[in-house]
């Protein structure tokens, strides 16, 4: 009786949604019946750099897209990549997604998505080209700063609220870059070869969560090939996995210029083709109708080579997207550059900054004292919202680290020297001498270095040339340390860097690209106004070859110019370090605080579990320090005596908690047993291996507080 009641109650709750969907489907079919073949074709390809066509005679609007995922990009010209130079397209610059990942805070992800969705709605955008969830495989990938780290579970948890926040504004989140776009070097043609197991366990979970849990309305195909087919028209990825297995009902949009073949574009799951180069000829506008899904597609339908039903499926998806966005009734107005958005940007930035090292509690700095602070580094004043490729922004404001420090430490004497420059024409020796001259008598030296958005740094379309800090920063840090030992290094980057110099400094902050509130957030951490609580979303290997992708040589990264082979397989990031016992410089999940935490007790709710049950891990954590703060309790799982090759442990749950000084918090983290499954390549399905597992509880992948043994029966 209970099950019958539950069924009818669930149906009753779902009935309004089913009714709306049925009405929507009827409307879509009615519109399709009124469209000519030519009009349908026009909806499947671009009409400008960032829009696809509508059908004016039927009141069907265009679809307007904008780059993200850290803010809404300035307006681009209709037919070229030049900026339109509008004066009303200034936006809030939100922190890079690596920073969001470092917060380990799903609530902040929702606020991020909601805020950026409001700005997109205000700018009359229908599709936000983001978020990015490609897995951090190598620290040389120039686009890592746009993604959510090396762990598929962390990325999966954080991408869902971001998508929901964006889409509740009537703006589609277009999750990218699907899939295996893990380097920028040769991105347009490199063919990726990876096992089915690594594909499903490492590289697809965040996309799957985006579709099945986040209900993303759009997916962007990636530039690279996978098993010989470009990912923008890849039958396995788009048809078999995305649309059939996951039930994706949205639109697949190509990356700009990512389409290469008409037949594959027609049959292999692509819906809207964007950015394909065309000759301008004599017309004032590019003939987008000549693109792969333009006239060649039309000719094949007219010639009965392709059924019109295939075109109708694409148009049906496009119309569904429109009814969710541009044709949505009662959609919000949106808002931009308001107090709430800046508060969100600041909150994410300050909660994402990671304290990597803090010898002798060197930080925080007492802002009430009249001390001398020497600030060194180009990154102290360099804008990081400009450059970097498609994520470039035009911020309404951007507080530099130097300005933030000057505002926060008003009682201090602040001296600044550039120290190094990314401009090769600048006299670097002169800059070095200026820096050394002001550090000798300083009470505190703040070296603000790292990477930038220049080519071959953290930037689209190119990978880094070196794992080391550029512009002779390591040498400068060492020279400064000979003159003054009281050094804190603030790394501004979206990537791990080589840190052999870490013994020369007392403290290190990983501060990411923090957007509009960058300087304010950094200064708040330095002064202790905010207690750092960020955790690394990827590992910092000691040496580049300590990274799994690089360990196997050039055929693994970057490939031979034709193909590359993911030889580390499922052992990405901390999985590699843990399993191979290769100690990183800083581990995944690592992040210090100005207070201290201790695990008082932990347990699982029982010792044995059936496959359909949920493991409940209970623990009590105490703040044993003098300051209130936040800690991220991380729960990993590993199989004992597995019949297959597995990582020693994998992240399966986490929870960020606020704890007052000398107080404790009880924490419960639930792990469905199904989440312990591995992908069985023989059966092409997920399998749960029975037997003993170890549940690891800690606050970093290399700092485990306690281990619990359980059994799956």
- Give the Cα separation of 340 and 318 in Å (integer): 33
Tokens of 466: 């070196």
Among the ranges given (16-20, 105-109, 338-342, 557-561), the one the predictor scored with the smallest mean pLDDT: 16-20
User: Where a domain ends, among 307, 324, 341?
Assistant: 324
Buried b (16+ CB within 10 A) or exposed e, 589-608: bbbbbbbebebeebebeeee
Identify the pLDDT of residue 18.
Answer: 58
Q: Do 435 and 359 reside in the same domain of the chain?
A: yes
Is the CB of residue 143 less than 8 Å from the CB of residue 182? no
- Give the Cα separation of 653 and 649 in Å (integer): 12
The dihedral region occupied by 484, where left means phi > 0, alpha psi between -120 and 50, and beta the remainder, is: beta
Instruction: For residue 207, give every residue at least 6 positions away whose Cβ sits within 8 Å of its Cβ, in sequence order, or none.
Output: 133, 175, 178, 179, 219, 242
Q: Do 168 and 308 reside in the same domain of the chain?
A: yes
Question: Does position 706 have pLDDT exceeding 70, yes or no?
Answer: yes
How many other CB atoms sit within 10 Å of the CB of residue 684?
A: 9
Q: Do 188 and 318 reside in the same domain of the chain?
A: yes
Q: Do 135 and 269 reside in the same domain of the chain?
A: yes
Is the CB of residue 497 less than 8 Å from the CB of residue 352? no
Query: Strand pairing of 225-226 and 229-230?
Result: antiparallel
Q: Residue 494's domain is classified under what CATH number?
A: 3.40.50.1700
Residue 348 domain-assigned (yes or no): no
Give the range of the structural domain holding residue 285, as residue numbers without chain letter: 35-324
Residue 674: pLDDT band (50, 70, 90) is very high
- Best CA proximity match to 154, nearest among 588, 592, 615, 616: 588
Q: How far is CA 424 from CA 427, 470, 621, in A?
A: 8, 11, 51
What stretch of H or E contains 4?
helix 2-34
Residue 393: pLDDT band (50, 70, 90) is very high
Tokens of 642: 């597995």
Question: Does position 8 have pLDDT exceeding 80, yes or no?
Answer: no
First vs last C-alpha separation in the chain:
30
Q: Do 242 and 360 reside in the same domain of the chain?
A: no
Identify the pLDDT of residue 287.
Answer: 81
Using only C-alpha atoms, the chain has a radius of gyration, in whole angstroms, of: 26
Q: Do 467 and 483 reside in the same domain of the chain?
A: yes
Query: Strand pairing of 703-712 and 691-700?
Result: antiparallel
Q: How far is CA 417 from CA 112, 266, 448, 472, 496, in A?
A: 34, 57, 11, 15, 25
Range 349-374 average pLDDT? 98
Range 307-326 average pLDDT? 97
Identify the pLDDT of residue 53.
Answer: 96
- Give the Cα separation of 511 and 527 in Å (integer): 15
How many other CB atoms sit within 10 Å of the CB of residue 503?
A: 10
Is the CB of residue 525 less than 8 Å from the CB of residue 591? no
How many other CB atoms sit within 10 Å of the CB of residue 478?
A: 14
Question: Does position 15 have pLDDT exceeding 80, yes or no?
Answer: no
User: Where a domain ends, among 536, 559, 583?
Assistant: 536
pLDDT tens digits for range 200-214: 999 999 999 999 999
> Tokens 């970097």 sit at which residue?
388
- Give the Cα separation of 425 and 527 in Å (integer): 36
Q: Residue 306's domain is classified under what CATH number?
A: 3.20.20.300
Task: Give burial (CB, 10 Å; 0-12/13-18/19+) of 25.
Answer: middle
- Give the Cα separation of 405 and 429 in Å (integer): 26
Helix %, strand %, coil % for the chain, to 5?
Answer: 35, 20, 45
Identify the pLDDT of residue 277.
Answer: 75
**Residue 645: half-sphere exposure toward Cβ, Cα within 13 Å:** 11
Q: Do 360 and 402 reside in the same domain of the chain?
A: yes
Q: Which residue has the higher pLDDT, 598 or 285?
A: 598
Range 456-476 average pLDDT? 97
Is the CB of residue 340 less than 8 Å from the CB of residue 111? no
Question: Does position 653 have pLDDT exceeding 60, yes or no?
Answer: yes
Secondary structure class of 539 (helix, strand, coil): coil
Residue 14: pLDDT band (50, 70, 90) is low
pLDDT tens digits for range 599-622: 999 999 999 999 999 999 999 999
pLDDT tens digits for range 469-515: 999 999 999 999 999 999 999 999 999 999 999 999 999 999 999 99
Instruction: For residue 228, give every residue at least 6 positions away whose Cβ sits within 8 Å of its Cβ, in sequence order, or none.
Output: 191
Query: Strand pairing of 691-700 and 629-639?
Result: antiparallel
DSSP 187: T
pLDDT tens digits for range 413-437: 999 999 999 999 999 999 999 999 9
Q: Do 639 and 589 reside in the same domain of the chain?
A: no
What count of residues does the chain have?
713
Residue 221 domain-assigned (yes or no): yes
User: Where a domain ends, among 305, 324, 343?
Assistant: 324
Is the CB of residue 691 less than 8 Å from the CB of residue 636? no
Tokens of 615: 């493991």
Q: How many structural domains comprise the chain? A: 4
Identify the pLDDT of residue 23.
Answer: 86
Among the ranges given (176-180, 275-279, 482-486, 654-658), the one the predictor scored with the smallest mean pLDDT: 275-279
Query: Strand pairing of 218-221 and 172-178?
Result: parallel
The dihedral region occupied by 318, where left means phi > 0, alpha psi between -120 and 50, and beta the remainder, is: alpha
Identify the pLDDT of residue 16.
Answer: 60
What stretch of H or E contains 297?
helix 295-302
Q: Which of 89, 126, 151, 255 is catalytic?
A: 255
Residue 334 domain-assigned (yes or no): no
Helix-helix angle 473-483:428-439, to 10 degrees: 30
Is the CB of residue 335 less than 8 Å from the CB of residue 119? yes
Identify the pLDDT of residue 276.
Answer: 87
Question: Does position 20 have pLDDT exceeding 70, yes or no?
Answer: no
pLDDT tens digits for range 186-200: 999 999 999 999 999
Question: Does position 7 have pLDDT exceeding 70, yes or no?
Answer: no
Question: Does position 552 have pLDDT exceeding 60, yes or no?
Answer: yes
Q: Do 532 and 547 reside in the same domain of the chain?
A: no
Identify the pLDDT of residue 712.
Answer: 98
Q: Do 611 and 575 reside in the same domain of the chain?
A: no
Identify the pLDDT of residue 22.
Answer: 82
The dihedral region occupied by 334, where left means phi > 0, alpha psi between -120 and 50, and beta the remainder, is: left
Question: Does position 588 have pLDDT exceeding 90, yes or no?
Answer: yes
What stretch of H or E contains 64?
strand 63-67
Secondary structure class of 590 (helix, strand, coil): coil
Secondary structure class of 688 (helix, strand, coil): coil
Is the CB of residue 81 less than 8 Å from the CB of residue 48? no
Identify the pLDDT of residue 5.
Answer: 52
- Give the Cα separation of 466 and 139 in Å (integer): 9
Identify the pLDDT of residue 288.
Answer: 87
- Give the Cα separation of 380 and 364 in Å (integer): 18
Residue 25 domain-assigned (yes or no): no
67 in active site: no
Q: Do 549 and 513 reside in the same domain of the chain?
A: no
Residue 24 domain-assigned (yes or no): no
Give this prediction's pTM. Answer: 0.96
Residue 218 domain-assigned (yes or no): yes
- % of the chain residues with pLDDT over 90: 94
Please provide the average confidence, as pLDDT, over all residues in the chain: 95
Residue 631 domain-assigned (yes or no): yes
Range 293-314 average pLDDT? 97
> 672 - beta bridge partners?
614
- Give the Cα separation of 381 and 384 in Å (integer): 9
- Best CA proximity match to 619, nearest among 669, 558, 581: 669
Question: Does position 286 have pLDDT exceeding 80, yes or no?
Answer: no
Residue 675 domain-assigned (yes or no): yes
- Give the Cα separation of 499 and 200 in Å (integer): 33
Tokens of 70: 């850290």
Q: Residue 665's domain is classified under what CATH number?
A: 2.60.40.10
Task: Give burial (CB, 10 Å; 0-12/13-18/19+) of 552.
Answer: middle
Q: Do 285 and 401 reside in the same domain of the chain?
A: no
> 178 - beta bridge partners?
221
Question: Does position 281 have pLDDT exceeding 60, yes or no?
Answer: no
- % of the chain residues with pLDDT over 70: 96
């Amino acid at each position: 009786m209970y099950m019958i009641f539950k069924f009818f109650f669930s149906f009753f709750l779902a009935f309004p949604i089913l009714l709306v969907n049925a009405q929507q489907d009827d409307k879509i079919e009615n519109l399709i019946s009124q469209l000519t073949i030519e009009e349908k074709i026009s909806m499947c390809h671009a009409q400008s750099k960032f829009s696809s066509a509508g059908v004016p005679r039927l009141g069907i609007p265009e679809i307007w897209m904008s780059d993200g995922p850290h803010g809404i990009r300035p307006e681009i010209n209709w037919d070229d990549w030049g900026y339109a130079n509008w004066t009303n397209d200034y936006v809030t610059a939100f922190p890079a997604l690596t920073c969001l990942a470092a917060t380990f805070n799903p609530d902040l992800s929702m606020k991020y998505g909601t805020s950026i969705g409001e700005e997109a709605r205000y700018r009359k955008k229908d599709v936000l080209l983001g978020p990015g969830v490609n897995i951090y495989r190598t620290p040389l990938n120039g686009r890592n700063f746009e993604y959510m780290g090396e762990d598929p579970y962390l990325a999966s948890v954080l991408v869902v609220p971001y998508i929901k926040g964006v889409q509740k504004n009537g703006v589609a989140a277009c999750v990218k870059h699907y899939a295996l776009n893990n380097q920028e070097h040769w991105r347009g043609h490199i063919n990726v070869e990876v096992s089915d197991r690594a594909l499903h366990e490492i590289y697809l979970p965040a996309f799957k969560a985006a579709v099945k849990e986040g209900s993303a309305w759009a997916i962007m195909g990636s530039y690279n090939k996978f098993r010989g087919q470009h990912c923008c028209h890849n039958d396995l990825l788009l048809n078999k996995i995305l649309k059939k297995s996951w039930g994706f009902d949205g639109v697949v949009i190509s990356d700009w210029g990512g389409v290469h073949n008409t037949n594959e574009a027609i049959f292999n799951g692509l819906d809207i083709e964007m950015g394909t180069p065309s000759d301008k000829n004599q017309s004032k506008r590019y003939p987008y109708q000549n693109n792969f899904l333009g006239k060649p597609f039309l000719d094949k339908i007219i010639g009965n080579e392709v059924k019109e039903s295939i075109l109708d499926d694409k148009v049906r998806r496009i119309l569904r997207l429109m009814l969710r966005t541009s044709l949505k009734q009662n959609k919000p107005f949106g808002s931009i550059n308001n107090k709430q958005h800046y508060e969100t940007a600041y909150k994410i930035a300050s909660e994402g900054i990671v304290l990597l090292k803090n010898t002798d509690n060197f930080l925080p700095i007492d802002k009430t004292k009249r001390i001398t602070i020497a600030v060194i580094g180009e990154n102290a004043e360099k804008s990081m919202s400009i450059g970097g490729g498609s994520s470039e922004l035009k911020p309404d404001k951007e507080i530099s680290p130097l300005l933030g420090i000057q505002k926060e430490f008003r009682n201090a004497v602040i001296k600044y020297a550039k120290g190094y420059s990314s401009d090769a024409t600048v006299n670097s020796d002169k800059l070095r001498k200026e820096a050394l001259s002001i550090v000798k008598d300083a009470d505190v030296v703040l070296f603000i270095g790292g990477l930038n958005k220049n080519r071959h740094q953290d930037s689209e379309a190119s990978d880094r040339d070196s794992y080391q800090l550029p512009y002779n920063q390591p040498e400068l840090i060492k020279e400064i340390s000979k003159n003054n030992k009281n050094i804190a290094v603030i790394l501004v980057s979206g990537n791990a860097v080589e840190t052999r110099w870490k013994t020369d400094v007392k403290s290190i902050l990983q501060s990411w690209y923090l957007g509009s509130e960058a300087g304010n957030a950094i200064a708040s951490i330095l002064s202790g106004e905010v207690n750092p609580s960020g955790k690394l979303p990827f590992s910092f290997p000691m040496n580049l070859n300590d990274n799994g992708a690089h360990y196997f040589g050039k055929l693994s990264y970057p490939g031979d110019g034709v193909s590359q082979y993911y030889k580390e397989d499922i052992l990405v990031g901390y999985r590699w370090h843990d399993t191979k016992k290769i100690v990183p410089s800083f581990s995944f999940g690592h992040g210090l605080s100005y207070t201290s935490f201790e695990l008082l007790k932990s347990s699982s709710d029982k010792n044995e579990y059936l496959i359909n049950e949920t493991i409940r891990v209970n623990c009590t954590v105490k703040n044993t320090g003098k300051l209130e703060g936040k800690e991220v309790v991380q729960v990993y799982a590993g199989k004992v005596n597995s019949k297959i090759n597995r990582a020693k442990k994998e992240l399966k749950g986490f929870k960020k908690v606020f704890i007052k000084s000398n107080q404790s918090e009880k924490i419960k983290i639930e792990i469905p047993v199904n989440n312990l499954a591995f992908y069985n390549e023989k059966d092409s399905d997920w399998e749960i291996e029975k037997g003993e597992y170890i549940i690891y509880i800690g606050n970093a992948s290399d700092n485990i507080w306690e281990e619990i043994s359980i059994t799956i029966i």
